[in-house]
């Protein structure tokens, strides 16, 4: 897989082989590193992917967070590994469905990814007709408006965009965030890491949640290691942080 992905970059640069690319990368690290990262990153995403998570958010999690926000409280959500934006915009659309005034309240969604190119796409918030498909549900008309261009494109609505901030972040590096989160989505990322790295990631994510906060992970992932003492199962690939005893 790595050879296939880097092979496309080698062709684009008109280089002969991986040895040449290694030399090119070392000589042009500042300008080429983003391309290297992007080539090795998996970016598969859809709006409201794993719909059961958003149904659980809509029925069980967001109502109490909306109530807190309406009372002047702080609400924070994090989409870790946000790719080109469908996940954080789906989160935002779910919030605004329950709370249209959310942009005026203390509600924010952090969206992070290591790939700078997909982050630029996410910030542009314009998607093709195929990319903008949304499964049936209460949120069907909650995210998009026509882009205004001649193409069959859709732009994420301004109110939905306003809740989301995008940042480049290596999930296995330092995290600059100081505050805790009420909801974290880190889905289909840990499967690419070895067991020890996964356990470290689960622990760090659990530590970044408020007591009672929710962690949603990918359908083929399971929390393991020290985080199991901090989290309890709360749905299909959903976990709730235990309150401090």
Q: Catalytic residue among 108, 113, 115, 155, which? A: 113
CA dihedral over 27, 29, 30, 31, signed as positive or negative: positive
Residues contacting 134, CB < 8 A, separation 6+: 47, 48, 140, 143, 144
Whether 170 has a binding-site annotation, put simply, is no
Active-site residue, 5 included: yes
User: Residue 3: CA atoms inside 13 Å, Cβ hemisphere, count?
Assistant: 2
Q: How far is CA 220 from the centre of its chain?
A: 17
Q: Catalytic residue among 5, 70, 74, 121, which? A: 5
Whether 188 has a binding-site annotation, put simply, is yes
Whether 87 has a binding-site annotation, put simply, is yes
Q: Which residue has the tokens 């882009």?
A: 147
Instruction: Kindly tell me the number of DSSP H helices and DSSP E strands found in the chain.
Output: 9, 10
* Pairing mode, strands 181-186 and 231-233: unpaired
Whether 187 has a binding-site annotation, put simply, is yes
Whether 203 has a binding-site annotation, put simply, is no
- Is residue 112 within 8 Å of 80, Cβ to Cβ? yes
Orientation of helix 29-40 relative to helix 2-12, angle to 10°? 140
Which amino acids are annotated catalytic?
5, 113
- Binding-site residue set for S-adenosyl-L-methionine: 43, 45, 49, 87, 113, 187-188
- Binding-site residue set: 43, 45, 49, 87, 113, 187-188
């Amino acid at each position: 897989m790595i050879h296939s992905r880097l092979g496309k970059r080698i062709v684009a640069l008109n280089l002969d082989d991986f040895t040449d690319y290694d030399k090119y990368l070392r000589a042009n690290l500042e300008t080429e590193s983003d391309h290297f990262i992007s080539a090795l990153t998996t970016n598969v995403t859809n709006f409201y992917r794993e719909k059961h998570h958003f149904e659980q958010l809509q029925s069980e999690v967001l109502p109490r967070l909306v109530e807190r926000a309406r009372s002047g409280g702080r609400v924070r959500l994090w989409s870790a590994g946000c790719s080109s934006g469908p996940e954080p915009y789906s989160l935002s659309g779910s919030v605004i469905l329950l709370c249209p005034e959310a942009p005026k309240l203390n509600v924010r969604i952090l969206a992070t990814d290591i790939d700078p190119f997909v982050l630029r796409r996410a910030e542009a918030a314009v998607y093709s007709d195929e990319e903008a498909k949304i499964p049936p549900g209460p949120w069907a008309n909650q995210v998009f408006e026509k882009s205004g261009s001649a193409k069959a494109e859709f732009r994420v609505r301004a109110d939905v965009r306003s809740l989301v901030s995008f940042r480049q972040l290596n999930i296995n590096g330092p995290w600059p965030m100081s505050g805790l989160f009420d909801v974290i989505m880190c889905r289909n990322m840990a499967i690419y890491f070895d067991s020890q790295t996964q356990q470290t990631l689960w622990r760090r994510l659990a530590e970044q949640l408020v007591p009672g906060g929710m962690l949603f992970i990918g359908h083929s992932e399971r929390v393991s290691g020290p985080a199991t003492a901090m989290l309890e199962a709360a749905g299909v690939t959903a976990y709730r942080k235990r309150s401090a005893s």
